[in-house]
Amino acid sequence: MREFVASGLIVDLAIALTLLELVGLIVYRARTGRGIEASKLVIALASGLLLMLGLRAALTGADWPWIALALSASGAVHLLDLKNRWPRRIG
């Protein structure tokens, strides 16, 4: 188990499951017309995916700029997601 975590494979599995979730939700929306729009869904999941990439980079000994880039990009995408979700003023 230690090697599974330290090698980053656990993060690879989490990323794969998240991408599978994304595809499944997009297919569901296409077939039923219900659910979250694909563009909003991608933005919502991208922040977490970028965090996972940062974690993977840290676990596998990547140089710090790659880790910082992934975390910074995650924060930026998170702010975009919040902006999209924030209620608009009425009036």
Which of 52, 53, 50, 55 lies closest to 75 in space, CA to CA? Answer: 50
Instruction: Please say if the pLDDT value at position 90 is more than 90.
Output: no
Confidence of residue 58 (pLDDT cuts 50, 70, 90): very high
Inter-residue contact 84 to 40 (CB < 8 Å) = yes
What confidence tens digit (pLDDT) does each residue in 30-53 have? 999 999 999 999 999 999 999 999
The per-residue pLDDT of the chain, averaged, comes to 95
User: Average pLDDT for residues 23-32, to the nearest whole number?
Assistant: 97
- The answer to whether 50 and 14 are in contact (CB under 8 A) is no
Can you give the residue ranges of every domain in the chain?
2-85
pLDDT of residue 91: 64
Cα separation of 30 and 23, whole Å? 10
